[in-house]
Structure 1
Amino acid sequence: MSDHLTDPRVLALIAALAGLAVAAGVRTVRRMRRPVAPVLERVWHPLESTRLSLDEQAAFGRLTAGLSFRAPGRLG
């Protein structure tokens, strides 16, 4: 049995597996120590509260209807 453990191929395999285990452990520790990204808050834009005129609403409706993959007026 000791002949099997001294075979260079077996030693190389054991060394490669040990290296992979150490690398995976180091990577896990780094990932755990990495700071968590802050939660981004939504930014308010002044145009969000501006009322549109009827003409602007109609123009917006025509524009968005052209962007749809479905026929206008149909949902689902």
Structure 2
Amino acid sequence: MSSNIAQQVETIWRDVLTVPDGQEGATFFELGGESISAVRLVSRIEEELDVWLDVGDIFEDDPNLATLVATVVTKAEEASAA
């Protein structure tokens, strides 16, 4: 399950943010992320994966793809365990 989530989050990340070659480890802000990008990212994750994230977390944590994937996987596992 988590590898499927990871692939979906990566697809969303790459669709919302332009990720140049060699910048795969860049953070949200390093990739030019802004408020509308954060809203699009969170909205798509909620719609496509049914995992709720707070837009504020994106601004506070400034995640890279790996960090975001870990957060989404953890929240998905918590939701399925509840």
| Structures share fold, TM-score greater than 0.5 | no
TM-score normalised to the size of structure 2? 0.24
Question: Highest relative contact order (Cα 8 Å, sep 6+), 1 or 2?
Answer: 2
Between structure 1 and structure 2, the one with the greater Rg is 1
